[in-house]
Each structure stands twice: as structure tokens, then as C-alpha cells.
Amino acid sequence: MHRTFLAFALAGLTLMLAACAQHQSTLYERLGGQTNIDAIVENFLYRVADDTELVGFFANTNIDKLAASLGSMICDVSGGPCHYEGPPMDRAHQHMGVKDRHFNRLVEHLDAALAAEGVALNARNALLGQLAPMYGDVMRYQ
């Protein structure tokens, strides 16, 4: 009888875990979808604009185009319906002179924007983890 109960309990646990797996949301959903991603990008760009050490990197940048590109990239890497079609990171940053301190400040501003727009810590960390491999390309020609 004990063995039957254990088998029944394990079968029930397996069904519960399968149901939970089906209801797990994508990172895109955990970020709040495209509307919230757009708000995150806007918040981030305002933070960068207020940062005297970083704003100069964007002096000759079409901010609307940059915002759309960043929104598309975040949507894409988070499993959303977008496909990033902007320039490769190495080419986009090749003449900028970005140093580690600049890169780190951008990451700090992005994390702060994510938090300000209500993104949970686990989703913030997941997004930053998705973006982290781009570091090598951004810094390739620096």
C-alpha cells in the first residue's frame, strides 16, 4: 500500500511539474512585452542622456532610430516576436572608443531602467545574461 501511494504521489508531482512548465512565461513576457520594453528603452536613454560621461557617445545619433533598434534587440534576445536587423555590435561600436567603465555604466543604467519599469530581479538578470555575450563584439576595436 505504501508503494502504491508513493507511485501515485510521484505521478501527481510529475503532472504538476509538467503543468508548471507549460505556464512558464518567456523572458519577453516577464519583461512586460513590447510596450514595457519600449518604456525600458526610453527610461534607459533618458538616464544615458543625463550621464555626462556617456552622452557624448550619442551626440550624432538619431535617437529615434537608436530607440527602435534597442527595442528590437531586447525583444529579439528575450524571445519576443521581433528580429533584430540592426548593425552587428562590432561594426556599430568600432570607432566609439568605449572603455570598460563606459560599458559598465551603460549596464548599470539599463538595470536601473529595468527596475524602474517594474521588471523583477530574475528577469533583469536573465536579460543582462542574454546581452552579456555582446561585450566582446562591442569592445573588439576599442
Cell of 71: 527595442
In a domain, residue 129? The reply is yes
Amino acid at position 70, single letter = L
pLDDT on residue 96: 84
Cell of 24: 512558464
- Res. 16: pLDDT tops 70: no
User: Structural domain tally of the chain?
Assistant: 1
Note down the domain range covering 32: 27-138
- Which is it for the CA torsion 109, 115, 118, 122, positive or negative? positive
In a domain, residue 120? The reply is yes
Chain segment 56-65, per-residue pLDDT in tens: 999 889 999 9
In a domain, residue 80? The reply is yes
pLDDT on residue 95: 79
**Maximum distance among all Cα pairs of the chain, rounded to whole angstroms:** 75
Question: Around Cβ 13, how many Cβ atoms within 10 Å?
Answer: 10
Report the first-to-last Cα separation within the chain, whole angstroms.
69
In a domain, residue 1? The reply is no
Say how far apart CA 40 and CA 100 lie, in whole Å. Answer: 23
CATH of the domain at 68: 1.10.490.10
Q: How far is CA 42 from CA 57, 123, 131, in A?
A: 17, 18, 18
Q: What is the mean pLDDT of residues 33-59?
A: 96
Of 6 and 84, which is predicted with more confidence?
A: 84
pLDDT on residue 14: 47
Residue 19 banded pLDDT, cuts 50, 70, 90: very low
In a domain, residue 127? The reply is yes
Amino acid at position 4, single letter = T
In a domain, residue 130? The reply is yes
DSSP state of 86: S
In a domain, residue 113? The reply is yes
- Res. 106: pLDDT tops 90: yes
In a domain, residue 16? The reply is no
Amino acid at position 67, single letter = A
